[in-house]
Structure 1
Amino acid sequence: MHIIVAGLNYRTAPVSIREKFAFAEADLPQAVMELKNTKSIMECVIVGTCNRTELYVVVDRQHLCGHYLRGFLEKWFGVPREEFGGHMYIYENEQAIEHLFRVTSGLDSMVIGETQILGQVRDAFLLAQQEKTTGIVFNTLFKQAVTLAKRAHTETGIGENPVSVSYAAVELGKRIFGSYEKKKVLIIGAGKMSELTVKHLYASGADKVIVVNRTFSRAQELAEKFNGIPSTMDKLLQHLEEADIVISSTGAKDLVLTKEQVAFVLQKRRSRPLFMIDIAVPRDLDPALGQLPNVFLYDIDNLQTIVNNHLLERQKAAVMIEEMIRTEMDVFEQWTKTLGVSPVIQALQTKANAVHEETMDSLMKKLPDLSERELKVIHKLTKSIVNQMLRDPIIRIKEMAAERDGDEALEFFTQIFALEQQLEEQKRVEEAKLQQEAVASQERIKEELLKKVTINTADALA
């Protein structure tokens, strides 16, 4: 058994490549089932976000695994492997496990410590479980990864410090207002940074958005995204009277708002606090505005300093999470070692039960006059002897399997008790079961395709 992850992310592939490998949400159930039916794959999960496409698989053989995974992507997306092979990474076993833990914890994200990826990985795992493409290995590993990430964010607080200028601005505002509910946002200009900031404000409960711009059509375009009100620069002071938050990002060469203008407006605001964010370079807002009562002014340098300090805090937290990951990797390694002992123990018990049953059959032939009660007593006592004889060897092999040379111990144990035949039979049964599951999965895929064709035909006829 080997754990493999293959994929492309924002570090290895530009968006022009990544966008070619974006799984449509509606197609993911079929995709994960087809991946499961790929040669050598025993379990699988597909994680797809705007920044990464990753295939997590458990395989019975490492040989040619990368070839099969590239073939799956090539076939599903219709992109020749020559176009993406150089952007693709493949991690095996310990590296793959560490990668998953880093992804769920937010350490592999573009914004270190972000929490959105945790939900995306969890959803991908739950979908794979639903489609029955996971087994004992991934059911254990992905649950462990999700639990680790939750604990990492709770214990280190890595996500509490914003590391983008726009989000830092929003967090600063919370210190002033506590909540953005029923707060009015005034946007001066229609720059991208302003739009991103107002998205965060709107998501945090800001009630009303007014967009003021020299070009009314551009103001209208941005305002529509937030059910806002477009306006022009000649009404700026009028809108300033009712605003709680001002975000300015224009291309003006001179100041858009001076201290004198804002001081005049403040007389009509009745001491309500005014939170002003100047993201423009050169600045739109008079630096002297910060001297006015109840005005809280921040420019892009102020915000960047906060972001840099927060980034340092996240990096400190990341070091703590790295330690947590190493501990969890040791835990999973110990679990996989004990996992390998289960088939051997099962083989030993199967062989012991067979010997016991043969002995009882021989006894019944040699002592045909024994009563049913006597046979039950003998059966129970001899079974007890077998179980007692097996108890200590089973305890010892479990302990030995968890040690560094556990694989060698298992092999020696198998030879001592001559369990090769039983293990081979178990393997044949498991392969037959997997084959049945593959056939059933193919049938489900055919049914889904047939349903889609039927629906599309019906729509066409309608």
Structure 2
Amino acid sequence: MHILLIGLNYRTAPVEIRERFAFNDEDKPRAISMLLNTKSVLEGVVLGTCNRTEIYAVVDQLHTGRHFIKAFLSQWFDVPREDFIDHIYIKENDHAVRHLFRVACGLDSMVLGETQILGQVKDAFQLAQEHKASGTVFNTLFKQAITLAKRAQSETDINKNAVSTSYAAIELGKKVFGYFNDKTVLVLGAGKMSELTAKHLHANGAANVIVANRTYERAVALAEKFRGSAYPMERLTDGLIEADIVISSTGADGYVVTKHEIASIMRKRRNRTLFMIDIAVPRDLDPAINELEGVYLYDIDDLEGIVQSNLKERELEAEKIGIMIGQELYAFKSWLNTLGVVPLITTLREKLLNHQQEAMRNIQNKCADLTEKEIRMINKQTRSLINQIMHDPIVRIKEMAGQPGSEEALNMFIKLFALEDMLEDGGQQADAREESYIPVLHRRVVTGQ
């Protein structure tokens, strides 16, 4: 039994490849069913986001698992294997588990420490559970990954510092205003960055949005997204008087707003604080504006400086999470290593109890004058003796299961107590080519048989 991950993401595949491997939400149940019916796959979880597609699987053998999951991807998305083979990554066992932990914690995301991925991991796991694709191994692994990610968010500052220019603008604005309630935002130009920053400001409480643009129709289209107002450039002065926050990105060759103009406007505003963000290159806003009292002007370099500083802070927090991941990986490995012990202990107990019951029948046949009370006492004492006999071997095999060479130890345990026939008679015949009984034991645990 092995844990296998095959996937592609924003690091390994360009968007034109990733979009060919995007799972439709409505089709995911059918995809999970098809994956579970794929040869070698015992459990499966499908994780699909805009930046990654990953197949997590518990497989009986690694080489067949790799082959048939690649075939599944090729068949499901109708893409020849040679078109994507160079863009996928394959991680096995410990490496696959560590990768899942990093993904859930946001350490493998395009934006370090982002939290949206945790919800996507939870949804993928829940869908697998609903369709009986997640069993003993993944039920434990994914619950552990989700719990770890929640701890990472609550016990570290991984997501407290802005690491995008639009969020950096929000962070700066909060330092100036404290909050954005009842604030008016003037968007000068209709560029994507201006729109994104305005969107975040609006989401953080900015009440009114005004858009001024040379092409009035584009101003109207953007303003409608925020239920705001559109001004032609001829009314720019009016917008500057009304606004508390200005976001500028016009693509103009020279300054769109000068220090002299803002100085005149500030008198009309009665020196009410003005927060200005210049995202344009070349700059729209005269840098000398920053010399005016009551005006806070920031350009793209200021925002990038904040982003880089915050990114370093997140990287320090990511190191803390890395330690947590190491601890959780060890805990999962310890649990997984003892997984094969469970059916061994059950089988040994069953064998010894069969002998005990046979002995009780012989005692009753030879000692017909025993009372019910005496029979119960003998039965109790012989069962107690069996438990005492089993105690030390069980403790030792559990210890050995967590150490290197555990498979050899488990096989030796089987041979010492002559459990081979009972394991096979349980309906899980070992492959004639397999010398080890451990894959059989793991299949019994995974499938619940």
1:405 aligns with 2:408: no
Q: Is the 8 A contact 1:350 1:422 kept in 2?
A: no
Q: After TM superposition, give the deviation of residue 143 of structure 1 in Å.
A: 1.6
Once residues 206 and 34 of structure 2 are traced to their aligned partners in structure 1, the CA distance between those partners, rounded to angstroms, is: 45
Once residues 324 and 211 of structure 1 are traced to their aligned partners in structure 2, the CA distance between those partners, rounded to angstroms, is: 47
1:38 aligns with 2:38: yes
Partner of 2:338: helix, strand, or coil?
helix
The CA deviation string for residues 36-78 of structure 1, in whole angstroms up to 9 with x for no partner, is 1211211111111000000101111212212211221222222
The CA deviation string for residues 386-407 of structure 1, in whole angstroms up to 9 with x for no partner, is 1121122212222222223333
1:425 aligns with 2:425: yes
Partner of 2:317: helix, strand, or coil?
helix
1:353 aligns with 2:353: yes
Q: Which residue of 1 aligns with 2:231?
A: 231
Partner of 2:53: helix, strand, or coil?
strand
Q: Is the 8 A contact 1:237 1:265 kept in 2?
A: yes
The CA deviation string for residues 437-460 of structure 1, in whole angstroms up to 9 with x for no partner, is 9xxxxxxxxxxxxxxxxxxxxxxx
Matched residue type, 1:178: G
Once residues 138 and 448 of structure 2 are traced to their aligned partners in structure 1, the CA distance between those partners, rounded to angstroms, is: 20
1:343 aligns with 2:355: no
Q: Is the 8 A contact 2:339 2:445 kept in 1?
A: no
Q: Is the 8 A contact 2:213 2:232 kept in 1?
A: yes
Partner of 1:7: helix, strand, or coil?
strand
Q: After TM superposition, give the deviation of residue 31 of structure 1 in Å.
A: 1.8
Once residues 421 and 194 of structure 1 are traced to their aligned partners in structure 2, the CA distance between those partners, rounded to angstroms, is: 72
Q: After TM superposition, give the deviation of residue 435 of structure 1 in Å.
A: 8.5
Q: After TM superposition, give the deviation of residue 297 of structure 1 in Å.
A: 0.8
Matched residue type, 1:255: Y
Partner of 1:33: helix, strand, or coil?
helix
Q: After TM superposition, give the deviation of residue 317 of structure 1 in Å.
A: 2.2
Q: Is the 8 A contact 1:23 1:48 kept in 2?
A: yes
Q: Which residue of 1 aligns with 2:172?
A: 172
The CA deviation string for residues 77-97 of structure 1, in whole angstroms up to 9 with x for no partner, is 222222222211111111111
Q: Which residue of 1 aligns with 2:62?
A: 62
Once residues 30 and 215 of structure 1 are traced to their aligned partners in structure 2, the CA distance between those partners, rounded to angstroms, is: 48
Partner of 1:91: helix, strand, or coil?
strand
Q: Which residue of 2 aligns with 1:372?
A: 372
The CA deviation string for residues 117-138 of structure 1, in whole angstroms up to 9 with x for no partner, is 1121122112212222111211
Q: Which residue of 1 aligns with 2:293?
A: 293
Number of matched pairs: 437
Q: Is the 8 A contact 2:74 2:81 kept in 1?
A: yes
Q: Which residue of 2 aligns with 1:29?
A: 29
Q: Identify if the C-alpha distance between structure 1 residues 89 and 344 changes in structure 2 by more than 3 Å, giving closer, same or farther.
A: same
Once residues 182 and 123 of structure 1 are traced to their aligned partners in structure 2, the CA distance between those partners, rounded to angstroms, is: 36
Q: Which residue of 2 aligns with 1:110?
A: 110
Partner of 1:423: helix, strand, or coil?
helix
1:277 aligns with 2:277: yes
Q: Which residue of 2 aligns with 1:136?
A: 136
Q: Which residue of 2 aligns with 1:76?
A: 76
Partner of 2:63: helix, strand, or coil?
coil
Q: Identify if the C-alpha distance between structure 1 residues 274 and 426 changes in structure 2 by more than 3 Å, giving closer, same or farther.
A: farther
Q: After TM superposition, give the deviation of residue 436 of structure 1 in Å.
A: 11
Matched residue type, 2:38: T
Identity across aligned pairs (percent)?
56
Once residues 445 and 333 of structure 2 are traced to their aligned partners in structure 1, the CA distance between those partners, rounded to angstroms, is: 26
Q: Is the 8 A contact 2:136 2:445 kept in 1?
A: no
Q: Which residue of 1 aligns with 2:302?
A: 302
1:243 aligns with 2:255: no
Once residues 349 and 266 of structure 1 are traced to their aligned partners in structure 2, the CA distance between those partners, rounded to angstroms, is: 86
Normalization by structure 2: what TM-score?
A: 0.92
Matched residue type, 1:87: H
Partner of 1:428: helix, strand, or coil?
coil
Q: Which stretch shifts more, 248-257 or 47-56?
A: 248-257
Once residues 444 and 252 of structure 2 are traced to their aligned partners in structure 1, the CA distance between those partners, rounded to angstroms, is: 73
Q: Can you give the 5+ residue segments of structure 1 that lack an aligned partner in the other structure? A: 438-462
Q: Which stretch shifts more, 315-324 or 354-363?
A: 315-324
Q: Identify if the C-alpha distance between structure 1 residues 434 and 412 changes in structure 2 by more than 3 Å, giving closer, same or farther.
A: closer
The CA deviation string for residues 303-352 of structure 1, in whole angstroms up to 9 with x for no partner, is 11111111222222222322222222111111111222111111111111
Once residues 86 and 8 of structure 1 are traced to their aligned partners in structure 2, the CA distance between those partners, rounded to angstroms, is: 10
Q: Can you give the 5+ residue segments of structure 2 that lack an aligned partner in the other structure? A: 430-440
Q: After TM superposition, give the deviation of residue 374 of structure 1 in Å.
A: 2.8
Q: Which residue of 2 aligns with 1:265?
A: 265
Q: Which residue of 2 aligns with 1:48?
A: 48
Normalization by structure 1: what TM-score?
A: 0.89
The CA deviation string for residues 9-33 of structure 1, in whole angstroms up to 9 with x for no partner, is 1111111111111112222222222
Matched residue type, 1:180: F
Q: Identify if the C-alpha distance between structure 1 residues 88 and 263 changes in structure 2 by more than 3 Å, giving closer, same or farther.
A: same
The CA deviation string for residues 243-284 of structure 1, in whole angstroms up to 9 with x for no partner, is 121100011122111122222222233443211100111111
Matched residue type, 1:111: V
Once residues 230 and 163 of structure 1 are traced to their aligned partners in structure 2, the CA distance between those partners, rounded to angstroms, is: 30
Once residues 324 and 230 of structure 2 are traced to their aligned partners in structure 1, the CA distance between those partners, rounded to angstroms, is: 50
The CA deviation string for residues 158-183 of structure 1, in whole angstroms up to 9 with x for no partner, is 21121211111111111122222332
1:157-236 equivalences in 2 (<5 Å): 157-236=157-236
Q: Which residue of 2 aligns with 1:440?
A: none
Q: Which residue of 2 aligns with 1:453?
A: none
Q: Which residue of 2 aligns with 1:445?
A: none
Q: After TM superposition, give the deviation of residue 375 of structure 1 in Å.
A: 2.2
Once residues 405 and 356 of structure 2 are traced to their aligned partners in structure 1, the CA distance between those partners, rounded to angstroms, is: 32
Once residues 90 and 425 of structure 2 are traced to their aligned partners in structure 1, the CA distance between those partners, rounded to angstroms, is: 33
Q: Which residue of 2 aligns with 1:455?
A: none
Q: Identify if the C-alpha distance between structure 1 residues 436 and 383 changes in structure 2 by more than 3 Å, giving closer, same or farther.
A: closer
Once residues 434 and 264 of structure 1 are traced to their aligned partners in structure 2, the CA distance between those partners, rounded to angstroms, is: 75
Q: After TM superposition, give the deviation of residue 357 of structure 1 in Å.
A: 1.5
Once residues 339 and 260 of structure 1 are traced to their aligned partners in structure 2, the CA distance between those partners, rounded to angstroms, is: 75
Partner of 1:82: helix, strand, or coil?
helix
Once residues 312 and 356 of structure 1 are traced to their aligned partners in structure 2, the CA distance between those partners, rounded to angstroms, is: 66
Once residues 427 and 280 of structure 1 are traced to their aligned partners in structure 2, the CA distance between those partners, rounded to angstroms, is: 70
Matched residue type, 1:307: V
Matched residue type, 2:200: H
Partner of 1:4: helix, strand, or coil?
strand
Matched residue type, 1:154: S
